[in-house]
Every structure is written in C-alpha cells, then in structure tokens.
Structure 1
C-alpha cells in the first residue's frame, strides 16, 4: 500500500512517516506543489493531507483533484477544531478527518478502515524470525522501529531464499534464475549481494554450505 503524506511540520511529519513506514510504503511531501507533482507521476492508494500547508491548502488541493476525477481516498489531518473545516473537507471529497494531536495508533486504525472501505489490497508481509518482517512490495526489512530498504537485486535474492527455505542453493542456481544471460554477475559480485543481505537480516539466517552454496533458515 502506497501512501502520500503531506505535512509541512518537519518534526510531526517525520514522526508520522517513521511510524507508518513500519506498515506501509510512505512518501512524504511538505506542500501542495510537491504533492501535486508526485500525484501526477505516481499511483497512491491513499492521500493523507494536512490542511494548513504552503501554497494551496489540503482542502483546496483535494477539491482540485476531485475536479479532475481523481478518486484516490483522502484522509484530512488538521489542528483546526471547528466544524466548518470538517464540513469543507468532506465537501471537497475527503472520506475521513482526524484532529491533531492524535494517537499514531488511531491514525493507523483509520488507515486500516480505509483499506477495507475502498478494497485496498494490503501487501503480503513475510516474517523473518520473531521480531523482523520483510515487505516485498517496498523491499523493506522492518525490525522494531528500524526499517532498511534493500536494493532491487538484493530483494530478489532474499525472496528466492524465502521461497526455498532449508534447501541448499548454489551460485549457479541463483544466477540462472535471477539474471539474464548477458547480465550474469561474477561469483564475487553475488557474494557481495549476499553479504549485504546478511548485514540486514543477520548472518545466522543465511548460512554457507562449504562447496555447495547457501541455506536460508
């Protein structure tokens, strides 16, 4: 699930983005011009828009998007407490509204409700041990409050190991399945990729079987 977060407060924006990155693919912008630019070039499953940002307000931006028949679900966040802004938000096309300060878990619950309401498909999460989760869509490995994004080829290799747990996989098998003939890497390059993956998920999860290959457990 890909979310666009528009929040101009640098501290609050970072707190929200860091929290949501544990569960979703989140892209953060600071104003309506940046938001419009990203919306024009990228598909988002959900928009989270602050009202009071530089340029067009979140309400104005949403109204403009709806005038161009953009139906992306939108959740408005704001420090305004009056009902006038609440009404304006819904009139502009928002499906939900949350006032600051809010609990981050409440925000996530509202996002989960949006997924059900608009039939947004959640990406499959893969558990790696008790405390670590891998998200194939975003190539992110998340452990506690820390998230690490793998490079595309690192993600491909990890996903191949995950699909074949407990089996010894040699260099030749990895290369034949994950590279085109004209792009085949050297054994040293492959070892470098696997070393990087081990640094993220732990050396004990991909063990070397001397003279044979690697085993993911």
Structure 2
C-alpha cells in the first residue's frame, strides 16, 4: 500500500505538477485551500502533509499549528516562497518537519519526502529494534532476546505503535484511534497493555512500558 500524501497548494499548475511527479510512488491528494483538508484527514488519514504557506483564508503555518494543537501527529513539509530566516524559524516553530523554499528542485523534494517517511513510517522497514526487542512488521513477528514471542494481532499492533513512538507518551484516546480504530472500547486499553506487558516482560524485570498517571503510557 502506497504512503498517502496530502498537498495544499493554491497554484493550480504547480499542484498538478506535484501530483504528477509524486503519484508514481505515492497516493497523492491535492487541495487548493485548507477548507476540506481536516475532514479528509479525519476520514481517510494521511502519512505526510506538503503545505504552501501563502494560502487563501488560513495561512499555511497557522493551519498546521491548529492541527498540531488539536493533537494531529502528521509530519509536515512546508513548500513555500517565504524564504527569510525568520520565516523559516517560524515554520519550524509552528510544526514543520522540513522546510523547502521556492523555486525548488523536484528531486530534492522527493529525497526529503523519503527521508521523513523513513522516520515516521517505520512499519515500511523490514525490521525494527528497540533494546532487545526485534519486530518484523511485514511478518507480524516479535523476538525478545532472540526468543519468539507470540502476540495476538491487537497486541502486535499495540507494540508496533509504541515502538514507532518510542519515548513519547501515548494517551488512551490516541491508542484507541490508531490501534483499535472503529472497535473502540476504552477499558480494553488497560487490559491489552497489561496482557502485552505480561508477554514481553513476564518476570517484570525490564519495564518496557511505563504508565504515566492521568496521561497515558510510554515505551522508553
């Protein structure tokens, strides 16, 4: 399944060029303004946002800042003519993962997209390693200290989500949204994490997953 990229660019010709250039490797959806973007993300999701800052209505970095403040954890590349040092600093402060100024080189943009997706979509990798945990996303296999651990599908997705977000606190709402999806049952988060901890740390020696009272959980 191709990673999904949303592009917000108000210049029609440039938007069409970007869609054409990136569509061979990615699923690309373009918007000329921000009005329907949030609804689309809620319904379809996305792996990356490419955002112009000079947009009609809401300025691009303001829109991204709003998303971040509302809890949307989506990597963002600003692709914009705003190229002063203060503009670039402001862009990163408001949520940019990368910042590219116009005019730009399309091959450089492609390389930067790949670099961000390697960091933010580790499930596309063949193997992920955290301490003595090895996880193989494509095969749904987990090894701890070289020994295979049998997890349910839910437990595997839960562990994968923790490893993708290592050392970040994940709230119950976040886990329900990203692991359970449409089958949301809040009490099941505590139960699933308890069972996962029992399987990956039966002797309670390693304490991979820490409970942060009143906030959520983190693996660190």
Shorter-chain TM-score: which interval?
0.5 to 0.7
Query: Which of 60, 63, 66 is the aligned partner of 1:61?
Result: 63
Aligned mates of 1:100, 1:62 — CA distance in 2: 19
Q: Which residue of 1 aligns with 2:113?
A: 111
Is the contact made by 1:45 and 1:73 (CA closer than 8 Å) also made in structure 2? yes
2-side partners of 1:64 and 1:17: how far apart? 25
How far, CA to CA, are the matches of 2:5 and 2:123 in structure 1?
Answer: 13
Residues 13-52 of structure 1: matches in 2 within 5 Å? 13-52=15-54
Residue 121 of structure 1 deviates from its aligned partner by 4.4
State the alpha-carbon separation in 2 of the partners of residues 41 and 118 from structure 1: 20
Detail structure 1 runs of 4+ shifted over 2 Å in the superposition. 119-123
Q: Separation in 2 of the partners of 1:46 and 1:59?
A: 15
Query: What's 2:178 paired with?
Result: none
Distance 1:103 1:121, change over 3 A: farther
Task: Encode CA deviations 1:152-171: one digit per residue, 9 max, x unaligned.
Answer: xxxxxxxxxxxxxxxxxxxx
Q: CA deviation at 1:24?
A: 0.3
SS in 2 for 1:90: helix
Residues 140-159 of structure 1: pairs in structure 2 closer than 5 A:
none
Q: Report what 1:80 is aligned to.
A: 82
Q: Supply the distance in 2 between the matched residues of 1:96 and 1:104 (Cα, whole angstroms).
A: 15
Q: Distance in 1 between matches of 2:57 and 2:89?
A: 21
TM-score w.r.t. the length of structure 1 is 0.54
Mapped to 1, the partners of 2:30 and 2:68 lie a distance apart of: 21
Q: Distance in 2 between matches of 1:16 and 1:72?
A: 19
Per-residue deviation, 1:22: 1.0
Measured on the aligned residues, the alpha-carbon RMSD in Å equals 1.8
C-alpha distance in 1 between matches for 2:56 and 2:93: 21
Greater C-alpha radius of gyration: 1
Whole-angstrom CA distance in 2 between matches of 1:121 and 1:100: 32
Cα 1:122/1:108, change in 2 over 3 Å: farther
Measure how far apart 1:89 and its partner are. Answer: 1.1
TM-score, normalising length from structure 2? 0.54
